[in-house]
Amino acid sequence: MYLLYSLGLSLLSLALLPYFLFQAARHGKYAGSFKERMGGLPKSVSSDGRHTIWLHAVSVGEFLAARPLIDRIKSELPGYRIIVSTTTLTGQQLARAQSHLFDGVFYFPFDWKFSVRRALASVRPSVVIILETEWWPNFLRECRNRGVVTLLANGRISQRSFRRYRWIRAFISRVVGDFSLMIMQSEADAERARSLGAQSGRVRVCGNLKYDIPGDRGWGMGDGEEKETASPNPASPNSQPLTPDPHEEIDHQFALSASPHLIVAGSTAAGEEELLVNSLRDVRSHPGLEDARLLVAPRHPERFDEVASLLARSGFTYARRSRTGAIVAADARLARAGFSIETESGADVILLDTIGELASLYRFAAVVFVGGSLVPRGGHNIIEPAAFARPIIVGPHTENFRQIVTDFASADALVQITGPGANAANKLTRELIRLLSDHKQRQAMGIRAREILRANRGATDCTVAAIKEVMRIKF
């Protein structure tokens, strides 16, 4: 079965090679990570004789969820070296920006035996912690053969994935069996893990680490007033300084705190920006909302220029975060013809074309739309805006955060738009107008969202306790 899996992985890689080459040439993706993905890791992560904990977080969302876990492990297991791997470019960029918090960062190897063995021989981990849904058969098998403790943290198995896994249950049961412990988000996830072959004694439920993200950064835990500007908790004398929060600089650049009707659209996907721009046009035609503005943050960096082109054709003025002082007219010919162009702080639409800055900007929003949900991408994290007590709108596609969205929806702590295509776009506009026009309603919804966070925190404590218990048994 493992031979067939490796053969299939190789054939799939060959089939996708033209796509990878195109992305490398066009957007600079993959080329810089290829050596590490083949197991050739930098010397900075090679074993130095200490026990090593290797934590793998696929992308930005998983890395943010891992931050409080990393801090707690450093505090409670100070003798261990912590290194972090990611799969995506955005995850790597964010991890490198915060690399002072741990001992090294690199790309996770391709799941071929030779690349996995090279990486493991270099790092020589005592413990591997994998976030959420990364089940790499060859990697897990090699870890087991080397006596490495392997844990799944914040684990989840969607109903859709569960149905697929059941078709290859004989193989998946062996993969699942290579985990020393599976720490799942919910009892439903745990039951699916057991149904796929995990031993009951190796499955634990600890809740969702993403509920603990706000407590790690000190975000938005104030009184829920509009335009709250609470800063991160100051570092203690014995701790590493936190990465400076960019929100004050960006506020000064774009006058966000002076915008009472600011819509922040985070982690948007292809097809959503156009809907948002059209909605903004309708919102601004509503009495009292003529000053509404939009800050849009595409999920993937390779789409930044694409979205900029869309905004240039929109009829709005817009500014890009990465180009300080570079206000862009919707039609450059207007500027050349002598028409007045607004300053950067007065731009109708702001394109956040940077990595790692979105979370701290939710504090300035009157209403938040969380992307990847109007189109079938599974949705993205709603915890960060909820930490600032902001009202949240999502579309129908929220499979990646199904339980969290259900928790919020049942408490009337978010608005979920249903329906396809134009119907969803019209509903988005109506909900934006409704919430932007009613200060008290959006404030109450935001406070309910933050209360859900407070009620569900504690997954980090449970996860760290489970990790330490397994390590005591092993070491």
422 or 110: whose pLDDT is higher?
A: 110
**pLDDT in the model for residue 250:** 92
Residues 208-233 have a mean pLDDT of 49
Read off the pLDDT of residues 124-164 as tens digits, 9 standing for 90 and up. Answer: 999 999 999 888 999 999 999 999 999 999 999 988 889 99
pTM for the whole thing?
Answer: 0.72
Tokens of 131: 């976030």
**Mean predicted confidence (pLDDT) in 303-328:** 86
| pLDDT > 70 in the chain, percent | 87
Class of domain 215-230+243-456: alpha beta
Domain ranges (residues) in the chain = 33-207+458-474, 215-230+243-456
Tell me how far CA of residue 193 lies from CA of 56, 164, 200, 252, 466, in angstroms: 20, 13, 9, 49, 17
Kindly report, residue by residue over 68-110, the tens digit of the pLDDT: 999 999 999 998 999 999 998 888 988 998 889 999 999 999 9
The answer to whether residue 328 scores a pLDDT higher than 50 is no
Write out pLDDT tens, residues 240-264.
333 446 788 899 899 999 999 999 9
Q: Is residue 22 predicted with pLDDT exceeding 90?
A: no
Mean pLDDT of the chain: 86
Please identify, in words, the CATH class of the domain defined by 33-207+458-474.
alpha beta
Q: What is the mean pLDDT of residues 20-40?
A: 79
What pLDDT, on the 0 to 100 scale, is given for residue 27?
66
Tell me the pLDDT tens digit for each residue of 335-377: 444 443 444 678 999 999 998 899 999 999 999 999 999 999 8
Fold match, 33-207+458-474 / 215-230+243-456: yes
Predicted pLDDT of residue 28? 67
